[in-house]
Chain A
Amino acid sequence: MLEVKSLSKDWKEFRLREISFEIKKGEYFIILGPSGAGKTLLLEVIAGIFSPDKGRIFMNGRDITELPPEKRCFAYIPQNYALFPHMTVFENISYGLKIRKTSKIEIDKKVEEISDVLGINHLLHRKPKTLSGGEQQRVAIARALVIEPELLLLDEPFANLDLQTRGKLIAEMKHWKKELGFTALHVTHSFEEAVSLGDRVGVMLDGQLIQAGTVREVFSKPASEEVAKFLGFENIIEGTAKGRILKANGLEIELPIETEGRIRVGLRPEDIILSLSPIKTSARNEFKAVVEGVEELGPLVRVQLKTGGVELRAFITRSSMLEMGIEKGREVYVSFKTSALHVF
């Protein structure tokens, strides 16, 4: 649906270099990158607020690079939400509809519908400055979604919220995504948001989109050392949960909490224990695995493992590598505590 082709732009201290990617209809695409990587600038170029120095943007095959923002039918939610302070919540949400000269009846109906979904219909008469951060966020999302944009552009939508609200809103966003079926481009520096919400992820460093792919691809096969470093070397396992059991590519993993449906769990490489024979410890998950590769990183060694259909990375010290004789093709046992798993 949206296709970005070798986009470049310099603006103040930010820069974009040859950025290309594609978003399909109904997809939730996340661009993950540290602050200063140029993520906001990229969103603003796609929104049409700035024009690129080089490169083209296509929407459903049509070149929209020169179109003004109002002709693109995207909705942009900046990091501070940018609610119109001189309008009530209702006026904020209905802004885009009014511009489109929607009838009053239709406006009332649409605002009510979206407010119901987002749980803000009790706030409609209030002014934005009287709202909490989480409420403002919901209003911003409502204002953007009510015009049924072809693409929703979100800039760090959860960054300004306290931890608890953030967790709650991320969970709800998953739900809204399903219910309303919008297409979104979401930029963030938060690993958690990427894994929780992303259908696909792109990693952006220093103005370049280094890697893009499904969440599992990107996290299990970082394209470069920098990407791996930024992602924090986490193992992401995808599967179907039932109660406390996660079935993932032939493995049955015990989870720390009960849950249902398709989920992703994270496991830090340093939480994986390797051994040559089965061990009895408090670790609750143990599998047989094959060593696929060994990479020495100074005093530590990164071991690539495959167990069933799941690829894992583990850190061990150099000395234990030598002691256990770990090398490519060797069979080992991997184990990790249930509590080491992070359910997204």
Chain B
Amino acid sequence: MRRNYTVAFFALMGSFLVMYVVIPLMVILIKQLSDLEMLIKTLHDPLVIKALRNSLFTATATALISLLFGVPLGYVLARKNFPGKSIVQAVVDVPVVIPHSVVGIMLLVTFSSAILDSYTGIIAAMLFVSAPFTINAARDGFSAVDEKLEHVARTLGASQMKAFFTVSLPMALSSILSGAIMTWARAISEVGAILIVAYYPKTAQVLVMEYFNNYGLRSSRPISVILITMSLTIFIILRWLVGRKANA
């Protein structure tokens, strides 16, 4: 058989980026395993546990809020043409191009003490940078649903709302949930905006930075490892659940 050199070459080139992600992950995990004592100590640190709980809580709340507002917006973007639609679409994507520290400054300037150092502030910062994932995924999910299906549902007696909940939403659901998972993942990995808006209540990702600044690499590593393990586990399980549903 003739070897396919082109694809082999491309695979070799592409694997650089895969390894670039995998290697640091492996290295930090392996290094930490050789320092189990520190890991166990960190796991018993109430400050760390509290911070992890804060991270989980705020990221989950962010994902839910982005669903509540992002799904209707995604539906409108998928179904309707209106003047200024491209502007709305651009606005949705704006958070991606703004540096996250600037996002923090903007939010603080706008909402000031209403969000300063509070859960609201953390969620506000997370929502700003991560909602686009849910909105765009919802839009793509609804776009993939043939409008004729809704039309048929309507002629069979369903109101527009009923057609949405019985046909469009169930069909777009796996796409929407994938988007929400991305939102959750982006939210739990957010630091820049949170640092500015709400240093307290302390989230795990901020705590990593604080430990690094105050006590150095050895102290910040175990929290990092715990955060990675937790995030990745949840991320993988959710993706697996959604994938299974999409194939059902």
Contacts and interface: CB of A to CB of B under 8 A. Distances in A.
B229 interface: no
Contacts of A144: 156
B145 to A, nearest CB: 9
Nearest to B163: A70
Contact of A74 (B146, B155, B162): B155
A69 B151 contact: yes
A304 B160 CA distance: 54
Contacts of A143: 152, 156
B246 to A, nearest CB: 10
Nearest to A101: B157
A100 B159 CA distance: 11
Interface residues of A, number: 28
B156 A147 contact: yes
A78 interface: yes
A84 B151 contact: no
B235 to A, nearest CB: 25
Interface string B154-197: 11111110100011001100000000000000000000000000
Contact of A96 (B149, B156, B159): B156
Given A78-B148, A80-B148, A99-B162, A69 B171 contact: no
B225 interface: no
A75 B158 CA distance: 12
Contacts of B162: 99
Chain B interface category by residue count: 10 to 19
B157 A86 contact: no
Contacts of B167: 84
A331 interface: no
B76 interface: no
Nearest to A77: B152
B61 interface: no
Given A84-B167, A86-B170, A49 B154 contact: yes
B146 A69 contact: no
B149 A84 contact: yes
Contact of A78 (B151, B157, B159): B151
**Central interface residue in A49, A74, A75, A147, by most chain B CB within 10 Å:** A49
Given A47-B155, A75-B155, A84-B153, 18 more contacts: A48-B154, A49-B154, A69-B154, A70-B159, A73-B157, A76-B152, A78-B148, A78-B152, A80-B146, A80-B148, A82-B148, A82-B149, A84-B167, A85-B171, A86-B171, A96-B157, A99-B162, A149-B155
15 contacts: A44-B151, A48-B155, A49-B154, A68-B160, A69-B155, A73-B157, A75-B156, A78-B151, A80-B146, A82-B152, A84-B171, A86-B170, A95-B156, A143-B156, A147-B156
Interface of B: 146, 148-149, 151-160, 162, 166-167, 170-171
